[in-house]
Amino acid sequence: MNALVEVLQVLLYLLIGIPAFLFVLYGILLLVYHGRTTKRNIEDSNGGVATSNFEPSVSVVVATHNEEEIISKKIENLLASNYPMDKLELVFADDSDDSTPEIISNYAKKIPNIKLLRFSERIGYSPSMMAGCQAARGEIIVLNDAGSFLDPQAIANIAAKFRSGNIGVVTGKDVILNTDEDVGKSETLYQRIYDFLRTSETNMDSTFYIKGEATGIRHILLKDIELPQETFDTTIGLIARQKGYRVVYDPSVKFYEYAPATHFDRVKQKTIRAANLIKVLWRFRHMFFNKEYGKYGLLTMPANFAMLVLLPIIVVVWVIGLGIVTVFDPGFAVFVWGGLGVALLALLAISKHLVETFLEFEYSLLKAIYQVVFTKRVHDKIDKVSSTRRI
């Protein structure tokens, strides 16, 4: 029995030590590349053939489902964009069963550059976005969400990035509006970490994380692609990188939205997003460790798969193993549990929101993995978190 306990103890060290070592190495790499932002921005600006007054035609595509309370505010937000209206098209792909399409249609009667695609039954986010993109006429497609609001300069900043011929996708920065609420504060902290990651990945090669609330893509890249069954925005980023284009994060492309009002809603939102990311990562697993895709294939994709899938599973296995060891070797367990307790108290003293963010993130990932593997749940048609829609 003692031999078995010793083996379990070694396995516990390996289970936590090896991933920790690898993530520390990747973290150091991210820190190094994060410091190269200025140089990369210059390269992005000069990487293609630049012309004066660069203003390509742009189509903003929004998928809507039962957004009658905020759709007018959404349309007014887009119409206030600082971009020439004669070069801007607004495409709404709607599968609502409320008054949303009627409101959009009333705007379209007055404003000719608004286009409404109407579906008689709910088809889901990804098919709606795909249909909207196929109907769009702009050289640049901007993906947007009904529950988020673009900064007036966002579209112009997206368009300007495409001066560089090697950039295929540009994604933007999330600014949380309800920072006076507990969940809003946690989400703001999460976004800071998220933006750090995306900045470093962009400087290395390309970022995996795309925000469908504010993302631009060259229209030509959407031709002859397979309709994705997972999250549409992340899929087009992967397709763009496959075709040799970079996927970049630009913090000047800002959009504003509300974080969920409760922790329950936040977990629901992150579970949906995590499940879609896991599905799309697995679908493009042939890019893992593939030097054809540069550091994106060799580092970024495997590291994110490990973070989204392997790490939560390792944590669960580690906790179960520690529970078993606790029964047979209480002294060892007290040492480990005590160390964890001290670390947790130290983190709580530094930032309660950091602990909340980590625990909710890992819990959401575990729920997502369970739903993807065991329930085969379709996440494309799950109802939105209503508390993120506010007038």
Tens-digit pLDDT profile for residues 306-365: 999 999 998 888 888 888 877 777 777 777 778 778 888 888 888 888 888 888 999 999
50-66 pLDDT tens trace: 445 789 999 999 999 99
Give 135 or 346, the one with higher predicted confidence: 135
pLDDT at 48 over 70: no
- The pLDDT of residue 28: 92
Question: How, if at all, do strands 167-176 and 149-150 pair?
Answer: unpaired
Q: What is the CATH number of the domain that holds 162?
A: 3.90.550.10
pLDDT at 198 over 90: yes
Confidence of residue 379 (pLDDT cuts 50, 70, 90): confident
Q: Where are the alpha helices (DSSP H) in the chain?
A: 2-34, 37-46, 71-79, 100-110, 125-135, 154-161, 182-204, 232-242, 263-283, 294-295, 301-305, 311-328, 330-350, 352-370
Confidence of residue 174 (pLDDT cuts 50, 70, 90): very high
Task: Pick the range with the lowest mean pLDDT from 181-190, 226-235, 238-247, 273-282.
Answer: 226-235
- The pLDDT of residue 38: 62
As a whole number of angstroms, the distance between CA 168 and CA 157 comes to 14
- The pLDDT of residue 1: 57
- The pLDDT of residue 345: 86
Cα dihedral angle (193, 34, 148, 162), rounded to 10 degrees? -160
DSSP-assigned letter for residue 69: T
Q: Which of 60, 36, 25, 239 is nearest to 133 (CA)?
A: 60
- The pLDDT of residue 387: 87
Cα dist. 117→65, 155, 172 in Å? 12, 22, 26
- The pLDDT of residue 50: 43
**In the chain, % of residues over pLDDT 90:** 65
As a whole number of angstroms, the distance between CA 354 and CA 350 comes to 8
pTM: predicted TM-score of the whole model, two decimal places = 0.88
Angle between helices 182-204 and 37-46 (to 10 degrees): 60
How many domains would you assign to the chain? 1
- The pLDDT of residue 44: 67
276 and 230 Cβ atoms separated by less than 8 Å: yes
Angle between helices 232-242 and 125-135 (to 10 degrees): 60
As a whole number of angstroms, the distance between CA 303 and CA 24 comes to 11
Task: Pick the range with the lowest mean pLDDT from 58-67, 110-119, 207-216, 322-331.
Answer: 322-331
As a whole number of angstroms, the distance between CA 229 and CA 127 comes to 8
Q: Which of 214, 104, 88 is nearest to 150 (CA)?
A: 214
Task: Pick the range with the lowest mean pLDDT from 87-101, 192-206, 274-288, 307-321.
Answer: 307-321
pLDDT at 391 over 90: no
pLDDT at 105 over 50: yes
pLDDT at 75 over 70: yes
Confidence of residue 43 (pLDDT cuts 50, 70, 90): low
pLDDT at 257 over 70: yes
User: 144 lies in which domain range?
Assistant: 1-391
